[in-house]
Amino acid sequence: MLSVQDRAIVKSTVPLLESGGEALITHFYRMMLSEYPEVRPLFNQAHQASGDQPRALANGVLMYARHIDQLDQLGDLVAKIINKHVALQILPEHYPIVGACLLRAISEVLGEEIATPEVMSAWGAAYGQLADILIGAEGAIYDQKEQAVGGWRGAREFIVAAKVEESAEIISFYFEPADKGPILAAEPGQYIGMKLILDGEEIRRNYSLSALANKGQYRISVKREPGGRASNHLHDQLHVGASIQLFPPSGEFTLTASEKPLVLISGGVGITPTLAMLEAALETERPVHFIHCARNGSVHAFRDWVDGLAARHPQLKRFYCYADDDGVSPAADKVGLLSLEQLGEWLPEQRDVDAYFLGPKGFMGAIKRHLKALGVPEKQSRYEFFGPASALE
């Protein structure tokens, strides 16, 4: 446990982190990724280049410093970090590398007048405390996943059983274990980690499971991203019969059991985790409003599948909104951006619902504001980022 003095010193650095935390963390990443190539596979270089990852970690460090004496207030943030770490297989031996580089960055960016021996000692103790918390929690999850039916630890070999084009941009991959054994159950909304070797370099990625894992296989549905190393490799090079290394399913953005009406709102490839949620909800009599937004019909994946479900399940109402009409695809229910008024018409009349939404950041920001304005309780409005988390305004 940190001493009272250490906590006070860490809290005293909050103003510095507020004004210069992103620069400090950018320096930290540059140093660590250049000097310790063994940790490079754990970090998405596109997120580094965009600045999303440094911003996310800078915010995490700031929140930790602010609440150093009230760590219980960081429950949701810590849970997200733990699940991301488990999906990517962050291990205890990685923490000393991160800690050493973080302390060096503090010293080099803040300078010796600010980064005094007392400050460095306090932050060293604070990092050690956080590392112990994360290592302990992650170790417990690794053990749990290994001991569960169909579970495993680390990477496991799977085979591509099927590859299906879902739209002009999205392809689904079905994976079955090479050892023919059972697979670990996954909660609707979770994602799975994978290890790829591209041009001799290892990279790791997480992809949402786009179907319930109840048939001895996992399905992911991947959008081809311009310049995306992993997505382009999967689209172009990963074929039926190929082998791939997967990590156990993880993630805390999962469907909560409830009798309240369920509202699923997605934009673009954000549809993927909502599909598993939709499947699970329809196994009950729970009312579901499924709302999907896409640029146009050519990039709208799974429309026929959702339409088929709606025809068989009267409790499912589905609505589609396209930014523009391509003149070829089946018509949407609305053309243009999803407005407050239109969303209000598509929601259940009673706003006591559970709402889950995913998509591009700007889209999610608008949906969050719309749901609040329409009377959906904020605690029942949930979202997740594909990639590093950030604030939604």
Domain 262-383 has CATH 3.40.50.1000: no
Long-range contacts of the stretch 363-369 (C-beta < 8 A, 24+): 363/267, 363/268, 363/270, 363/293, 364/267, 364/392, 365/392, 365/393, 366/337, 366/338, 367/265, 367/267, 367/338, 367/343, 368/392, 369/340
Residues taking part in catalysis: 95, 138
> How much is the pLDDT for 75?
79
> How much is the pLDDT for 290?
98
Quote the CA–CA distance of 117 and 109 in Å, as a whole number.
Answer: 15
What is 156-250's CATH topology? Elongation Factor Tu (Ef-tu); domain 3 (2.40.30)
Q: Which amino acid is at 104?
A: R
Long-range contacts of the stretch 311-317 (C-beta < 8 A, 24+): 313/282, 313/288, 315/282, 315/285, 315/286, 315/287, 315/288, 316/278, 316/282, 316/287, 316/288, 316/290, 317/287, 317/288, 317/289, 317/290, 317/346
Say if residues 222 and 171 touch (Cβ distance below 8 Å): yes
Instruction: Kindly list the domain boundaries of the chain, sorted by start residue.
Output: 4-147, 156-250, 262-383
* SS3 at position 157: strand
> How much is the pLDDT for 392?
52
Query: Using one digit for the tens of pLDDT, what is the confidence trace for 342-383?
Result: 999 999 999 999 999 999 989 999 999 999 999 999 999 999
Would you report the helix, strand and coil content of the chain in percent, each value rounded to 5? 45, 20, 35
DSSP assigned state of 250: B
What is 4-147's CATH topology? Globin-like (1.10.490)
pLDDT < 50: residue spans in the chain: none
- Alpha helix positions (H), 208-325: 229-237, 271-282, 303-312
Query: Using one digit for the tens of pLDDT, what is the confidence trace for 300-352?
Result: 999 999 999 999 999 999 999 999 988 888 899 999 999 999 999 999 999 99
